[in-house]
Chains A and B, each alone.
Chain A
């Protein structure tokens, strides 16, 4: 299992019954909400594997909705998430499907936001409440929610990455981890950067104005 700290062994403080199927599910909902970037109003949630078969008894559905509503894993209103969602105008439909070669505890969100934003997010609960986001709009990513994360969709061309990192350097933002992938040579590419410092709206605007940048999104860390 590897190295850990004392609060991995005594903690998290959470609403039961399962760290992976409940606490992790809340966190996946929270991340999907952060990626959408606005109040979700509707969508479809597709459950895969163990989430699909044992989710009901673990309150996984409620936990995912609670996360979409912005609740933390220790929020005692998780068991009332369905009612609260209704009150707040969030309508989600649950379905099950084989999402392919992904972790047994996986879920795909197809979300619509209040101002019309639309996003697809695939994530997995990988044990002890830890999670990882694997796909955003069909692009492969790896976001664990431990750091402020910048996701940029750009043209695959030399110098595009450099102009982004230069802007970050100027703003004194240090990159902890970076992943670059592309559809094919010269087509759309995706950059995921985990940073030590928070990325504010002003910097995000500057990034969006750079040439050959199609989209830029900042995702806050969990908690």
Chain B
């Protein structure tokens, strides 16, 4: 089984970034050129940008009518200079809501790693791009780092709410975003591992309890809080804070917790928020 720590060691030995190790690995496994892989990743980045823009405009509503317009509220308040948490965190919250709203409203997104968790990664990376100088090339490399960690998570555990709960979806997305943004901000390969571990640890045990079984409540807002956790974890790792438990072991713990989680809390809409009085009422109204 692959381990993220092996990639960290390889990157440190060869003086490479994690993204460059991932890229080389995928050039070999997919038998495709570096250029072809960059082209495909560019398409993903393009759709991520489009989904942020579409969501911030705040015009669409989901089929149930519950979702839409919240990203625009956060964006508007920040633009008035009133944000409590500042440019970066507020920007990430707005963008994460934006992309997740677009998904709920049947707009076009990039699953990252899933459709339900599609807002976290674009929110974190594109917000950093908005407030700091980063090149397109660096952004694409950061996406390779994120996808590489995602591969490790998928191999050692899974990224499916039905199998592992929300920790496997938003948790994985937050870990991927944390690793990617650390690399984007100039952190070391080891710091990407620490950031991912800290982010995922903060999400362990999170259940998948969607109201009426829809990818709406609480999924959309969890994209925003997931992005905030990714940024907090990155801030710690970049400052030299280490994770006591290494990332591979945190992933293995997530896998075990997912298996121990009862079925009612794994995307069946039979537990948690889905069966609260309000959750049930929403379901009754809708169906």
Query: Residues on A close to B: CB < 8 A?
Result: 1-19, 22-23, 50, 53-54, 56-59, 62, 74, 76, 78-79, 127-129
Contact = CB atoms under 8 A, between A and B. Distances in A.
Contacts of A50: 213
A80 to B, nearest CB: 10
B5 interface: no
Contacts of B106: 15-17, 22, 59, 62, 78-79
Contact of A22 (B22, B115, B148): B115
10 contacts: A6-B37, A9-B112, A10-B143, A10-B146, A10-B150, A11-B44, A17-B214, A54-B212, A56-B286, A74-B47
A16 B214 CA distance: 11
A137 B132 CA distance: 59
B136 to A, nearest CB: 16
B107 A54 contact: no
A78 B105 CA distance: 11
Nearest to B215: A17
B62 interface: yes
A6 B212 contact: no
- Residue among A9, A11, A22, A23 having the largest count of chain B Cβ atoms under 10 Å: A9
B158 interface: yes
Nearest to B162: A127
A7 B151 CA distance: 9
Interface pairs A-B: 5 shortest CB-CB: A16-B103, A9-B150, A54-B213, A6-B147, A1-B158
B114 interface: yes
- Residue among A15, A16, A128 having the largest count of chain B Cβ atoms under 10 Å: A16
Given A9-B154, A19-B111, A58 B26 contact: no
Nearest to A73: B108
A6 B23 CA distance: 9
A89 B212 CA distance: 33
Nearest to A104: B162
Contact of B26 (A2, A6, A17): A6
Contacts of B213: 50, 53-54, 57
B14 interface: no
Given A4-B151, A7-B147, A15-B107, A58 B214 contact: yes
Nearest to B101: A16
Contacts of B105: 16-17
Contacts of B43: 13
